[in-house]
A and B are shown apart, each in its own frame.
Chain A
């Protein structure tokens, strides 16, 4: 008898008589159930193992996605340098004089917003538009020589401030044809 079944000693006669009845099970096939249970235990173990490994790739994917999102947020949060386009507006007669490299009217600086296309006055440009315009005219006048290329490279490499501060020092080493900032300034003032 089963270990799980209770004894019938403490039962009433009706309970004893009922407990002696054997339940009917027509479609009951013990061997088939044991065979299917064996298959289920194997597939169940494989499924459990698969379930454990199934978390590997999603976890790695989630972690990498989180890292990428964090880096993207950090990249977007960085302070971007403000880009401003300075457009020179000159009267028609000034354009003619600029062509002859003798224009003396400094242009008016206007800031153009690249996104909206709207124009506005420049509050504090990095370089005065008048200075930039005069410098451009002076450089244009000497663009045939090597001085222009050298000066352009210096300005592009170090910026106007760096070029201005080191002009006197570099003047001793550089060719005589290279105009210094002071010379250019004098030429602007004279013109």
Chain B
């Protein structure tokens, strides 16, 4: 792996692979394939992109949207109904949130809010990078993030924090 480097690719896989799968899951039903193709595309690049994480999220987003269009709406709905009970997260004792409940809550969000929350919380992207992904402004991305969090808080039954901790942009 001369151009990109095996070490960098392995680190990106470990740190962002699962988050990218979760990110692509918002559009298509085969997110692993989309993410794998994105990593292969990165390996084919003659030069490493300036921000490989943002580059991967952009490629995954485009690939997931393309895959969703290719599958068609009817097939997507059938598969979505079949995987209604599949959780997007691994059950863990570290958090008091239920994985299946969070999955249902995330699935119920609008796609713009969901992709903003996933890219922010699990991808670690800044609002500028999220805005660049969706072709919006950073203020719009921040507004979507806050709206999505509020919706999740309501659906999960989590109390509103006393201090308005605002994430750093």
Contacts and interface: CB of A to CB of B under 8 A. Distances in A.
Interface of A: 1-6, 10-15, 17-28, 30, 33-34, 36-38, 40-41, 43-45, 47-48
Q: Which 10 A-B pairs have the closest CB atoms?
A: A44-B44, A2-B15, A23-B22, A37-B43, A27-B32, A23-B18, A5-B124, A21-B89, A41-B43, A40-B40
Given A28-B21, A36-B40, A22 B13 contact: no
Nearest to B31: A25
Chain B residues touching A, majority SS:
helix
A50 to B, nearest CB: 13
Interface in B1-20: 1-4, 6, 9-11, 13-19
Interface stretch (B61-69, B72-80, B136-144, B151-159): B151-159
A40 B39 CA distance: 10
Interface of B: 1-4, 6, 9-11, 13-19, 21-22, 32-33, 35-36, 39-46, 53, 86-90, 92, 94-97, 99, 102, 117, 121-122, 124, 149, 152-153, 156, 158, 161, 165, 167-168
B93 to A, nearest CB: 10
Contacts of A27: 32-33
A18 B97 contact: yes
Contacts of A47: 44
14 contacts: A10-B168, A12-B149, A20-B94, A22-B89, A23-B88, A23-B122, A24-B22, A25-B18, A25-B32, A30-B14, A33-B39, A33-B40, A34-B9, A37-B42
Contacts of A41: 1-4, 43-44
Contacts of B90: 21-24
A17 B161 contact: no
Contact of A17 (B46, B95, B122): B95
B156 A14 contact: yes
Contact of B3 (A6, A15, A18, A45): A45
Contact of B152 (A3, A18, A26): A18
